[in-house]
Amino acid sequence: MTNNTDESRRVDTREPLGADFIIPVMACVLAGYYLATTTDLVWEARAAGVVVGVPLLAMCLYHMGRTIYRIVRGNGSFGFGEIFEDTLFNRQRLGLLILTTLFIIALPWTGTTLGLFLVLVASMRLLGVTSIRQLVGVAAATAATVYVLLIYLVSSRLPQGPVEWLINRIFGIGA
């Protein structure tokens, strides 16, 4: 019993090598997909992809084989280390990713200025900014700068929403 408890408490000191596989797997998927879906094309259309894809597959397979060999020999583990652990930083990263995704999805409705303001407030709050003055001040100043520089002066086609509509009505812009 005691031994089991000690066993469970033992920290895995092997180097986590799982992260080493992420990029090679992505590369293999892309190269495999490219090669598989271009078999019917004329050689000019697939030549560059083949010249790049085949060595890429070979290098990835060699690297993954080398890494698996290290793990089998006990010099590493399949663990991902801190990448997928439930840590504060990872929760913050995931939160930022979700917030930025929501910002992009909602952009056609919120418009750039309001969307940017909201995503900044939410992101800064997520990272631990508590002062309302700082949250609103930084977000409003940034959103206003982006509006003036990119929408008003540069006339970029960034999505416009209620705030831009209101400003246009008040100042008669674009009338």
Partner 1 sequence: MDVTFPFLLELFGRSVSLWWIILPGMILGTIVGILPGFSAQNTLIILLPLTLYMNIEAGMALMISLYCTTQLGGGIPAILFNMPGEGGAAATVLDGYPMTKKGQAQQALVCCFAASAFGGLITTVITMAMLPALAQIGLYFRSVEMVVVMVFGLTLIAAIAAQDLLKGLIAGFFGLMIGAIGVDPVFGTPRATFGLLELYDGVPLIPALIGLFAISEAFVMLETETIVRHQDIQAAKAARWADTLEGLRINAHYWWQTVWTSLIGLIIGILPGAGATIAAFLAYHYSKMLSKTPELYGTGHPPGVIAPESANNGVTSGTLVPVFALGIPGGTTGAIMMLVLTYHGVVLGPRLFIERPELVYTVYMQMFVCYILMALLILPMARYMSRVVWIPTKFLVPLILSLVTIAAFSEREYIFDMGLALFFGLVGYFARKGKYEVSALLIGVIMGPLFETYFLRAMRLGQGDLMILFSSWLGNALWVMVVLALFLPFLRNRKKSGVLAQTVQAGHES
Spatial CA neighbour of 106 closest among 169, 162, 150, 174: 162
- Of 71, 120, 163, 167, the one binding partner 1 (CB under 8 A) is 120
Q: Check the CA dihedral 69-26-89-5 and report its sign.
A: negative
Closest CA to 94 of 61, 117, 72, 126: 126
Site for partner 1 in 80-119 (CB under 8 A): 81, 83, 89, 92-93, 96-97, 100-101, 103-104, 107-108, 112, 116, 119
R_g of the chain, CA atoms, integer Å: 25
SS3 annotation, 147-166: HHHHHHHCCCCCCCCHHHHH
Can you read off the two tokens belonging to residue 161? 């929403």
- In whole angstroms, how close is the CB of 55 to partner 1 at the nearest point? 6
Q: Does 146 bind partner 1 (CB under 8 A)?
A: yes
Is residue 131 a contact residue for partner 1 (CB under 8 A)?
no
Residue 162 within binding range of partner 1, rule CB under 8 A: no
CA distance 26 to 30: 6
Q: Give me the residues that bind partner 1 (CB under 8 A), please.
A: 19-24, 26-27, 30-31, 33-34, 37-38, 41-49, 51-53, 55-56, 59-60, 62-63, 66, 81, 83, 89, 92-93, 96-97, 100-101, 103-104, 107-108, 112, 116, 119-120, 123-124, 127-129, 134, 138, 142, 146, 149-150, 154, 156-159
